[in-house]
Amino acid sequence: MPRNNMNPRAKKLSAKESFSILKRIVSLMFKSYPLMLLLAVFCILVSSAAGVIGNVFIGDVLIDQFITPSLKGEPTALYGVPMDLSTLVIIMAGIYLFGVICTYFYQILVSQIGQGTQKKLRDELFAKMEKLPLSYFDNRPVGDIMSVYTNDIDALREMISRVLPMLVQSLITMVASLAAMIMLKEWQLILVVIAFLFIIVFVVLSVTKRSSKYFIGQQRYLGLTNGYIEEMISGQKVIKVFNHEKEVEEGFDKLNDELCHHTTKAVQFSNILGPVVNNLANLQYVILALIGGLSIAYGVMNSPGVILSYMQLGRSFTMPISQLAMNINMLIMAMAGGYRIFELMDSKPEKDDGYVTLVNAVEDENGNPVETDHFTGKWAWKHPHTDGSGTDFTWLKGKIDLYNVDFGYVPEKIVLHDISLYAKPGQKVAFVGPTGAGKTTVTNLLNRFYDIEDGKIRFDDININKIKKADLRRALGMVLQETNLFTGTVADNIAYGNPNATREDVIKAAELANADNFIRMLPEGYDTVLYGAGAGLSQGQRQLLSIARAACANPPVLVLDEATSSIDSRTEALVQKGMDAIMKGRTVFVIAHRLSTVKNSNVIIVLEGGHIIERGDHDALLAQKGKYYQLYTGGQVTAE
């Protein structure tokens, strides 16, 4: 089953939460498209008014003031103004035509607002996602996050384009219809309409109360299912190697069954609600006709046109509720989607209180750094004093110190205990130890992917908490065990971490990593476009490009996390030669699967259970005949 930090059970949104989500959506729309939104509301108002006026005209005007007097040979008039039937028809046609035009325009406007809001939400979501810490993604399947961008955003767009305009039009139509009925002053018929209103609202609320959790569950399980599919697609080789197809299918069936269950229940309630409300509206129509007919028969009323108007107005009054009921699923799904969207948007961004920055520098006559606004290839730390007494500049050297560092991915489980180590500029420090010892965790802390619980980490004698994260990471290069290449040319991927890199810089970095030969054999050489994370390349070739990318970034500190683990022995020999050239003059932290690659390290740190149990160079550790001796002579040490 996929990792998931959320309760897979559907969260039932309270009325307050739903209203808050709706308020944020409307606020976003108004902020982005104020004039278009006001014009759309005006068009909806006119369109609804045209329909209500038409209903009044048919009964009270056309029948009572024109047809009935004409049958009796009396003159016809429009509320006392003499007028013939043809003129009245033209007026009515004009009203309906104006209503149709307004309907046309508001449909165009709301579709533009819906698509524009959808785009804006995606932009804001992506911008926010780039500011989130890695811990946010640790416990969330990629497919579930993707579902927010696709299913949830689309559900919100549907609501903006269809449901919200319908809701506004429904409210306007209901108010206008009620006002027209009050104006006609037949209270017994008004009471019938209001009574049915309460009945219909009661039915809608009852059904919605039971169905909302299924619509929300549908959205959540859709996200979980997408996450599972994405995870299984990326892991097809492993699945087939271990003959795990049956277990994978069973895992998918469980999620798919839950999705099917919630979707089926949601559709059932949705399908039931529409016909029930429609039949109640039809029953109201019949009762209005019956009461109206009896009122005329017994002389209580003498205006058949008014009865017809009430029948039409009553339908106009209750029909919006019926339409809304039939689209209640969209509204509920949109609220569920909105909840997930704003949940992501409201997530706490990666905290960065740093104020020390990395700047281009040149040497003054005394060899001290001086800030410059052009690229020099030399960097210095710009350290403004918090008391306002001035700014210090120190050369970027690559000295790293850890003092009594404790860390846990979750507070209740500490994985690193009292870690202290010191790396001078140009030194090579290697981490070895069994799986779960904490090797990769140490290197993650250098980049501030996570913040430590206790202790200090200093970069060139500056607490890394004082350094802006972007500048800290610019000073650190990483080659990870899992390579990540992006859609683009080979040259673009190598220059990924160095926007100032020239073509010559890219080629030089590739030559250092011994990647130049295979790159030149590609169809377009350095201009070959890679797709699907470099799916057309071997694992070793992808790793060589990753190493070349780190070399092109030219950082003073380099972290190699199992950088040669996916390269065969022959290729490793070539890469190691290039790696030695890359590492020259840099502070290097190495996590190695093959202990032979760390023999020449200045310091080898042996970790076990989050503790440093041994440290020293290769010969000294072998002489101790401790854990390192066991790992080396046994010929195995497992990467995290």
Residue 93 has pLDDT above 80, yes or no: yes
The pLDDT tens digits of the residues spanning 206-242 come to 777 777 677 777 767 877 787 788 778 767 766 776 6
Q: Is 14 helix (H, G, I), strand (E, B) or coil?
A: coil
Contact between 442 and 640 under an 8 Å Cβ cutoff? The reply is no
CA atoms within 13 A on the CB side of 188: 14
pLDDT average, residue stretch 251-263: 85
Strands 557-561 and 476-479, by their bridges, are: parallel
**Where are the CATH 3.40.50.300 domain residues in the chain?**
400-634
The pLDDT tens digits of the residues spanning 387-406 come to 777 888 888 888 889 999 89
Find, among 164, 155, 162, the residue nearest to 118 by Cα: 155
- CATH superfamily of the 15-345 domain: ABC transporter type 1, transmembrane domain (1.20.1560.10)
CA distance 297 to 474: 90
Residue 589 parent element (H or E): strand 587-591
Residue 134 has pLDDT above 50, yes or no: yes
The pLDDT tens digits of the residues spanning 24-48 come to 888 888 888 889 889 988 888 888 8
The pLDDT tens digits of the residues spanning 279-313 come to 887 787 788 778 777 777 776 666 666 777 777 77
81 vs 479 pLDDT, higher one: 479
Q: Look at the chain and count its residues.
A: 640
Secondary structure (DSSP) of 343-363: HHHTSPPPP----BEEEEEEE
**Where are the CATH 1.20.1560.10 domain residues in the chain?**
15-345
Burial of 123 (0-12, 13-18, 19+ CB in 10 A): exposed
Q: Is 612 helix (H, G, I), strand (E, B) or coil?
A: strand
- CATH superfamily of the 400-634 domain: P-loop containing nucleotide triphosphate hydrolases (3.40.50.300)
What sign results for the dihedral spanned by CA atoms 266, 268, 274, 276?
Answer: negative
Alpha carbon dihedral 541, 544, 549, 553, in 10-degree steps, equals: -170
* pTM given for the model: 0.67
Instruction: Give the pLDDT confidence score for residue 301 in this predicted structure.
Output: 65
Ramachandran sector of residue 436 (left: φ over 0; alpha: ψ -120 to 50; beta: rest): left
Instruction: Give the pLDDT confidence score for residue 456 in this predicted structure.
Output: 92
Contact between 345 and 125 under an 8 Å Cβ cutoff? The reply is yes
Contact between 506 and 526 under an 8 Å Cβ cutoff? The reply is yes
